[in-house]
Amino acid sequence: MGVQNITGSSFQTRAASPGLPSLQKGDLFQAKAAKLLPNQQVILQIGKNSISGKLSAPLQVNVNYLFRVENNQETLHLKVLGALPADGQGKVPGMAALLQKAGMNGQKGIQTLVQSLLQKSIPFSQAFIEQSSRLLKETSGANMEKSIEALAAMAAKKIMPDRALLAAAVNPKSTASVFRDTQQALFNMQNPGMPVRALTTQLGDMESLLQLNKNQTSVSPALLDAAKVVLDRGSEPSLKEGAFSLLIKAGAAAPGQTQAAWTAALYRAAVSDSSAPVQSPQMQQQFLHTFFKSIESLSPEAQWAKAGQLFTSTVPGEIKPLHTLIQPGSSPLQPLEQKALTQLFQAKASADTFWNPSFESLSRQWLQLQQKLGLFHEASITQSNARPAPDMEAKSLLLQAQAELNGSARQQLDPLLGRITSQQLQALEQPGILQQLQTQIPLFLGSFAADLTIDWEAKKTPDGSLDPDHCRMLLHVTLEKLGETAADITIQNRKLQLTIYNGQAKPEGLFEMLKPFLETQLGRMNYDLYSVNWKQTEEIKKQIQPSVMRLDNKGVDVRI
């Protein structure tokens, strides 16, 4: 068939509307002649989008055709390669012959890939198919289906696949381990060039951004926190009583011991000089409180090295951390003890900026992370007429570093490049009123590293942003002590419902401690806590499947 000259501003290099694919010279795509108009005008339908153009060769209405872009300047020149099934979904008869006509081989895997691309209205180039063909020849068995799905996602993102990218998408490794391995590989490189040095700095900055609890300080209240409450003359009597009772349960004070006797015993241990003048109970209390305050800036280990001997020298037996009092199987706390522990936790957490974010700071930090990773690398190139992406994106720096390296040094950067590309493939833009995103990031909790997987379903606002009033997040992470844990967060009309899934029994004491804190923190961001639930289950992944979301004029109805 002849060359079709389709004219119209909709066919620019960048898509003119959401969902309309960006067409480059050499791209192949499926379109339907939806309607023929007078003066050789035609309306072509690409997926759910329509464009108008001028027809210079006959086409049949409601028939799908395979087009190739011959030129994509102000006037788009298309060549019709052949007709496709009317619904665009069935198997294309003679696909091998059609591919050969387009200058491509017709192996079975490639036929399946092209069929998938056509069904999803994703344009693809001959170079992309040839590269995919080489990769699919190395793939067999169960990985074939995953490979085709990953390649289709790469085509949608205009990403040229290679062996490392496909391996990362099909059999992903832990993002945290890949991140750390890459940092170590960069550190070991001899005489690194500018891109390697810049990449090393960038990854260090990103780790700082992803580092929770940067000082490696326990967020749970410590014995010293309870001791300072007891010794503080400004503390409420009921708070003092509850904190002292916690010290007794933890073994840091003797059963039946009074607060005054405990204070005197600690003071005698702190002032070992027997010739020191005897002080009043008030002075002893002030001395100890000042001592404990003076070591707050030290690490938990250093604090305990200085203060722990005071407890161990006055009370025989084992001293337990306070958090063990609320672990499953522990005896229930009394109301005053629970109140004291809750207030201790809130005071400890309020001193850490991680536990006091604003919605704006979280959004800004999330966008900053995506930009630093380089998730918009290809988009920034396309939208800036092939100008290079910003130099400080991790993906851009990885590509620059690989260009100056060779051999094993180059291959050591492949896994992280593959992980970043996988994140791009999981964040495909979707047409319509709903947006579904998935991403996986490494979290560094002190010396412990873990992957956090986030599935996000949200309603779009008229300007295309995500509506914070109506959304759902599924968080999945394996923690050091709790093990595999998932959190299902549903927000509707700014009311938040939280369900936590874990294989362990519900920590009643921890829940009682966290709930008022969550209510306070969410209130600062103008959200209400509707409910908090804990579900003990070993089959976490089955419990957190993405929901069915139905939109009506009232917002989002989320059903699990």
Please state, for a pLDDT cut of 70, what percent of the chain lies above it: 74
435 pLDDT band, cuts 50/70/90, is: low
Q: Determine the average pLDDT of the residues in 528-537.
A: 89
Distance CA 333, CA 243 (A): 11
313 pLDDT band, cuts 50/70/90, is: confident
User: What is the value of pTM for the model shown?
Assistant: 0.58
Least confident of 28-32, 151-155, 164-168: 164-168
Distance CA 249, CA 297 (A): 27
Question: What is the phi-psi region of residue 103: left when phi exceeds 0, alpha when psi lies from -120 to 50, beta otherwise?
Answer: left
Name beta bridge partners: 75: 7
Extract long-range pairs of 364-370: CB within 8 Å, 24+ residues apart: 365/209, 368/209, 369/206, 369/209, 369/210, 369/441
User: Going by C-beta distance under 8 Å and a sequence separation of 6 or more, which residues neighbour residue 526?
Assistant: 359, 494
464 pLDDT band, cuts 50/70/90, is: low
Annotate 417-451 with DSSP letters as a single string: HHHHHHHHHTT----SSEEEEEEEEEEEETTEEEE
If you search the block for the tokens 């099909």, which residue do you land on?
Answer: 170
Domains and CATH numbers, the chain: 1-90 (2.40.50), 100-171 (no CATH), 223-351 (no CATH), 426-560 (3.30.750)
Read off the tokens for 408.
Answer: 């094993």
Residue 227 pLDDT greater than 80, yes or no: yes
Distance CA 219, CA 115 (A): 53
- In the chain, the N- to C-terminal Cα span, in Å, equals 51
Amino acid 237: pLDDT: 92
Q: Determine the average pLDDT of the residues in 153-175.
A: 80
User: Going by C-beta distance under 8 Å and a sequence separation of 6 or more, which residues neighbour residue 345?
Assistant: 219, 220, 221, 513, 514, 517
CB-CB neighbours of 555 under 10 Å: 13
User: Going by C-beta distance under 8 Å and a sequence separation of 6 or more, which residues neighbour residue 164?
Assistant: 411, 414, 415, 417, 418
Q: Which amino acid is at 170?
A: V
Could you write out the three-class secondary structure of 338-395? HHHHHHHHHHHHHCCHHHCCCHHHHHHHHHHHHHHHCCCHHHHHHHCCCCCCCCCCHH
Amino acid 147: pLDDT: 87
Distance CA 40, CA 36 (A): 7
What is each CA distance from 50 to 45, 123, 185, 554, in whole angstroms?
4, 15, 49, 30
For residues 309 and 487, the answer to whether their CB atoms sit within 8 Å is: no
Amino acid 244: pLDDT: 93
Q: Determine how β-strand 211-212 pairs with β-strand 434-445.
A: parallel
Amino acid 359: pLDDT: 47
Amino acid 558: pLDDT: 26
Closest CA to 200 of 188, 216, 212: 188
For residues 516 and 346, the answer to whether their CB atoms sit within 8 Å is: yes
Amino acid 4: pLDDT: 45
Average pLDDT of the chain is 75
What is each CA distance from 5 to 64, 67, 301, in whole angstroms?
17, 12, 75
Q: Determine the average pLDDT of the residues in 222-243.
A: 89
Distance CA 363, CA 354 (A): 14
Helix, strand, coil % over all residues of the chain, rounded to 5: 45, 25, 35
Q: What are the tens digits of pLDDT across the range 368-427?
A: 777 777 766 665 555 554 444 455 688 888 888 888 888 888 888 888 887 777 777 665
For residues 355 and 521, the answer to whether their CB atoms sit within 8 Å is: yes
Helix axes 359-373, 394-404, angle to 10 degrees: 20
Q: Determine the average pLDDT of the residues in 476-503.
A: 88
Q: What are the tens digits of pLDDT across the range 6-31?
A: 443 333 333 334 445 677 888 888 88
Using DSSP, how many helices (H) and how many strands (E) does the chain show? 20, 16
Q: Determine the average pLDDT of the residues in 447-451.
A: 78
Least confident of 24-33, 80-89, 111-120, 308-317: 80-89
In the DSSP assignment, the letter for residue 534 is: E
In the DSSP assignment, the letter for residue 171 is: S
441 burial type by CB count under 10 A (0-12 exposed, 13-18 middle, 19+ buried) = buried
Amino acid 16: pLDDT: 38
Q: Determine the average pLDDT of the residues in 286-305.
A: 81
481 pLDDT band, cuts 50/70/90, is: confident
